[in-house]
Chains A and B, each alone.
Chain A
Amino acid sequence: DARVTQTPRHKVTEMGQEVTMRCQPILGHNTVFWYRQTMMQGLELLAYFRNRAPLDDSGMPKDRFSAEMPDATLATLKIQPSEPRDSAVYFCASGLGGTAHTEAFFGQGTRLTVV
């Protein structure tokens, strides 16, 4: 059963701490997306990679967020330092090809709470 796996599922941290979220895309998928979902803003695209290369990270606050793909089976999203306004559900999704023709398969998300 192919699925996108995200860890951790829940994270509570104190303001100022570093947070790392991990994602294992579906084997064979070459496009990975990071989304953030909040009640106020809805689903926002933070960054996406194709063939491990970052294509667009304009949705990320550059001073504190960073996204990487160390290898084809792992994508990471880091926040340092974290702030209460970062509290949200962070979704990773993977797909084949470009965004125009890609069905994105979403992971179950990481619910982040920064206190």
Chain B
Amino acid sequence: QQPVQSPQAVILREGEDAVINCSSSKALYSVHWYRQKHGEAPIFLMILLKGGEQKGHDKISASFNEKKQQSSLYLTASQLSYSGTYFCGTENWLRTGTASKLTFGTGTRLQVTL
């Protein structure tokens, strides 16, 4: 089940903040966040597991709301280097008690300008 990302695209000025959301229609086991620059490979940002945890990496952090079945990625004081497409990937709980395979959303295109 493909997660839904919003917004699809966002343009920021350097120094501004942004939030990217990732929602699933099924119970989440984990959420993975990646960033991909044009013509390059996706780069890992972070993984969040069930339990409502929050993680941070420099000025990029994420939360995982198990109850709402969603995750949000927070970019604070954006830099030009943050430009790219952000993907969330989700693993859902299956009836067997195991996790489904990782499925990525269609991405959020972020552009940071001067």
Contacts and interface: CB of A to CB of B under 8 A. Distances in A.
B42 A43 contact: yes
Contacts, number: 49
A59 to B, nearest CB: 8
B29 A104 contact: no
B40 interface: yes
B105 A45 contact: no
A109 B39 CA distance: 9
Contact of A99 (B2, B101, B106): B101
B101 A56 contact: yes
Contacts of B30: 99-101
Q: How large is the interface on B (under 10, 10 to 19, 20 to 34, 35 or more residues)?
A: 20 to 34
Interface string A35-46: 000000011110
Interface centre among A56, A91, A99, A103, by most chain B C-beta atoms within 10 angstroms, is: A99
A102 B30 CA distance: 11
28 contacts: A42-B87, A42-B104, A42-B106, A43-B42, A43-B87, A43-B89, A45-B102, A45-B104, A56-B101, A59-B101, A91-B41, A91-B42, A98-B99, A99-B99, A99-B101, A100-B29, A100-B47, A100-B91, A100-B99, A101-B49, A103-B47, A104-B32, A104-B44, A105-B44, A106-B42, A107-B41, A108-B40, A108-B41
Interface of B: 2, 29-30, 32, 40-44, 47, 49, 87, 89, 91, 99, 101-107
